[in-house]
Amino acid sequence: MESVWEAVMTAGGLFWRAFWALALGYAVSASIQVFLSRGEAARYLGDAKPKKVGLAMLLGFASSSCSFAALSATRSIWMKGAHLIAALAFMFASTNLAIEVAALAFIFLGWQFALALFVGAPILVAVMAAIVLATRPDALSQRALEHAQEMTQEEDDSADQLPQHWRDRLTSRAAWQRAGSAYLMEWEMVWKELAIGFTIAGAIAALVPRSFFEALFPTGLATWLLVPLHALLAPFLAVLTVIGSMGNGPLAAILFKNGVVFGGIMAFLYSDFIVPPSLKINANYYGWRFAIYLGLVFAGAAVVAGVIVHAFFGVVGLLPTSAKSIDDLAAFTIDYTLFLNLFAIAVSGVLIVLSKRATGEPGEAPAPAVS
């Protein structure tokens, strides 16, 4: 019982440490969602040229969202005319370049990991694009797109109902009320993922001995073999833990503390789209054949990108040399976290009030433009 209590307190402490980053990140994300139309985005993403793929990543960064929301947005812009590679670049960027994901990496792992998310995102997209171009899944992707169109009723692009110019939207009461509803919807989509992620992290920190990680991730090997091996094992661990982009930060900190190398941690962070819930969502959208194909593409891109990022950071001398203490991360102390959390609670309160005024009940407004 003492160990169970320690696991609960560790999970709670880790969530307390991360709450401000999550809440403020979702507030920014929800606000941006209201001012960005999926239809407008798709019109500029019709091919796989580097310029269009770069624009897709920029739009993905702007739409900053959880893994499940990114899957929905990707399906929507693909159905509205975006090229498959551009749509997938949008999807990768919307989580791996998400403000809240980078903030969690900074909090739990350190600035090198947060920087690596931004450095690694274009590498991840480039590897993904190379795999798609090499495998040329034209017939498979066409059937998947037809499946999505058959299974999905045309969604209401609610941003198009707002003032057309973004400056007018900024001063629109309806737009900010919609942003409040979008904020609640973000939490509704990820609270289970977060609960699972932090609970697993707390349990592992309190109950799992270091010898387990040493057996799972060998350490007594040459670097040229160790980094690819850890990167290759990372997607399998991501599948087993069933944690997406918003819940894998605490567990990544525990893995790094227990000897998993930098490249393996980055491959683990990049593997948020191959967890079973994500595969099931893609199967619902496109059918199982295309969902499995996407899962293999995502896993391959995560492994290769993790190795490349590790090698690059090693060359420039930025590999982290020490891990943060899990006990320190989970401790409840009066420091900057307290004041940032109080500010985040205040912002959350304002957005919840806006949502209630929009519909009479929180969380019942029409779906945001990029959810």
Could you give the C-alpha distances from 5 to 1, 56, 306, 334, in angstroms and in order? Answer: 6, 45, 35, 22
Instruction: Identify the burial level of 340 via C-beta atoms within 10 angstroms of its C-beta, where 0-12 means exposed, 13-18 middle and 19 or more buried.
Output: middle
Q: How many domains does the chain have?
A: 1
Average pLDDT of span 46-57: 88
* Residue 306 counted as domain residue: yes
Mean pLDDT of the chain: 81
Average pLDDT of span 271-294: 88
**pLDDT value of position 247:** 62
CB neighbours of 265 closer than 8 A, spacing ≥ 6?
109, 113, 234, 252, 255, 256, 306
* Residue 159 counted as domain residue: yes
Residue given tokens 């000897």 in the structure block: 259
- Rounded to 5 degrees, φ, ψ at 45 are -125, 35
- pLDDT by residue (tens digit) across 134-146? 998 889 999 999 9
* Residue 120 counted as domain residue: yes
Give the separation between CA 338 and CA 92, rounded to whole angstroms: 32
Give the separation between CA 301 and CA 304, rounded to whole angstroms: 5
* Residue 365 counted as domain residue: no
| Gyration radius from the chain CA atoms | 20
Give the whole-number percent of the chain exceeding pLDDT 90: 29
Give the separation between CA 362 and CA 366, rounded to whole angstroms: 11
**pLDDT value of position 307:** 96
Expressed as residue numbers, the domain containing 145 is 2-359
Structure-token pair, residue 314:
């090693």
Give the separation between CA 344 and CA 124, rounded to whole angstroms: 31
**pLDDT value of position 369:** 42
Give the separation between CA 76 and CA 33, rounded to whole angstroms: 14
Structure-token pair, residue 8:
């609960």
* Residue 369 counted as domain residue: no
Comparing 124 with 358, the larger pLDDT belongs to 124
Q: What is the dihedral of CA 98, 299, 199, 345, to 10 degrees?
A: 10
Sign of CA dihedral 22, 27, 28, 33: positive
* Residue 371 counted as domain residue: no
Q: What share of the chain is helix, strand, coil (3-state, %, to 5)?
A: 75, 0, 25
* Residue 121 counted as domain residue: yes
* Residue 370 counted as domain residue: no
pTM recorded for the entire structure: 0.74
Q: What angle do CA 361, 367, 369 make, to 5 degrees?
A: 140
Task: Provide DSSP, 190-207.
Answer: HHHHHHHHHHHHHHHHHH
